[in-house]
Amino acid sequence: MPSSSKQPDLRPAVKNEAAFAEVIQLIAAARERTFQAVNTALIELYWKVGEHISRKIAAAEWGDGVVPRLAAYIARTEPGMRGFTTSNLFRMKKFYETYRDEPISAPLAHQLPWSHNLIILGQSKRPEQREFYLRMAVQERWTKRELERQFSTALFERVVLSPAKVAPLVHQTHPGAETIFKDSYTVEFLGLPQHHSETDLHRGLLNRMKEFLLELGRDFCFVGSEFPVQVGTRDFGLDLLFFHRGLNCLVAFELKVTRFEPEHLGKLNFYLEALDRDVRKEHERPSIGVLLCASKNDEVVEYALSRTLSPALIAEYQTQLPDKKLLQAKLHEFYEQNVPEDLKQPVSAKRTRRTPKKTK
């Protein structure tokens, strides 16, 4: 009889790997703190340099022509110090002058990398738009690429012009939830053709779930696709199920590649009831349902949601980037009609204009 070989005990190795993983987490956390500390110090430096230049020019001690000479002086005396070109020095001046009278936005700007600040400064048209993107970038921890995408999708314009349409029960069970959801979700990253099926949409979202989660928001966690729901002797499959950490509840997504019809709410309400009875844990809040449709009529949505007894909302998905110029024009019209005259101009525009000083 051949001798049986003894299997090696893998438990110590597994235990060690778990301890090793903890060390990796400590290293990653230290790197994050170091990066944040360096970024904070750098932004503070740029703020102070911008303030110094701004005050010198405002006091007529310097003209704009001094700034290029300052850049050349820094390059000559500190050759290893990068980032102090003429254009960047003027950006520091603008950075300081933009936020010095904005007590809410200034602290947010100091939490973001310089590259993020340049994007927001360069593409925002209004103080409230700057504050919106600053707050969202800090909250969602957007990368530079994702921040640029949010500008390209005209997120601010869409949120202001078309706030999320939610059922009355959402306000009662989840106060503030309407600020988490959107009236429309842009999924241009799916590359869907104009005529596509529900299967195409479903499969595309699963294949690009990382991008879809970024579009939804950082606190959304994916639970499952075709999530099984059993009621009586029948089996059903919920299109997409998520969990939202901030709201502490399950979020069910039902997909429709057609326009919204009132009868669509019936199936979603059924799923929400099943989730709350059979899936939701005791410490979790009632589930929320989202009908994601190809299009919708806002008046039909309002009528359909006004009497529903479920915490639901109707949103549409867009397979292409919106017409940003059109949305900006509509936003301008919105402000003209809804914002008082004394609030239409940013604070910086209300200051007494100074006569440009000559270069010294």
3-state secondary structure of 168: helix
Q: Could you report the per-residue pLDDT of 47-98, keeping only the tens digit for each?
A: 999 999 999 999 889 988 999 999 999 999 988 888 899 999 999 999 999 9
Indicate the domain borders of the chain.
Answer: 16-156, 163-322
* Dist CA 307 CA 301 (whole Å): 11
**What does residue 84 show for φ and ψ, rounded to 5 degrees?**
-115, 45
**Which residues, in sequence order, are CB contacts of 252 under 8 Å at separation 6+?**
227, 238, 239, 240, 241, 242, 268, 271, 272, 275, 287, 288, 289, 290
**Which residues, in sequence order, are CB contacts of 267 under 8 Å at separation 6+?**
254
98 with 121: CB under 8 angstroms?
Answer: yes
Token output for 114: 């310089």
* Dist CA 311 CA 173 (whole Å): 8
Helices 198-207, 209-216: crossing angle, 10 deg rounding:
90
What's the Cα-to-Cα distance from 166 to each of 20, 132, 297, rounded to whole Å? 46, 21, 14
CATH no. for 163-322: 3.40.1350.10
Q: What is the dihedral of CA 131, 136, 139, 140, to 10 degrees?
A: -160
Q: Can you give the pLDDT of all 360 residues of the chain as single tens digits?
A: 555 556 655 556 556 666 777 878 888 878 877 877 888 899 999 999 999 999 999 988 998 899 999 999 999 998 888 889 999 999 999 999 999 999 999 999 999 999 999 999 999 989 999 999 999 999 999 999 999 999 999 999 999 999 999 999 998 999 989 899 999 999 999 999 989 999 999 999 999 999 999 999 989 999 999 999 999 999 999 999 999 999 999 999 999 999 999 999 999 999 999 999 999 999 999 999 999 999 999 999 999 999 888 999 999 999 999 888 889 898 888 888 776 555 444 433 443 334 444 444
DSSP 252-305: EEEE-SSB--TTHHHHHHHHHHHIIIII--TTSPPPEEEEEESB--HHHHHHHH
Q: What is the dihedral of CA 212, 216, 221, 225, to 10 degrees?
A: -50
* Dist CA 3 CA 5 (whole Å): 6
pTM over 0.85: no
3-state secondary structure of 360: coil
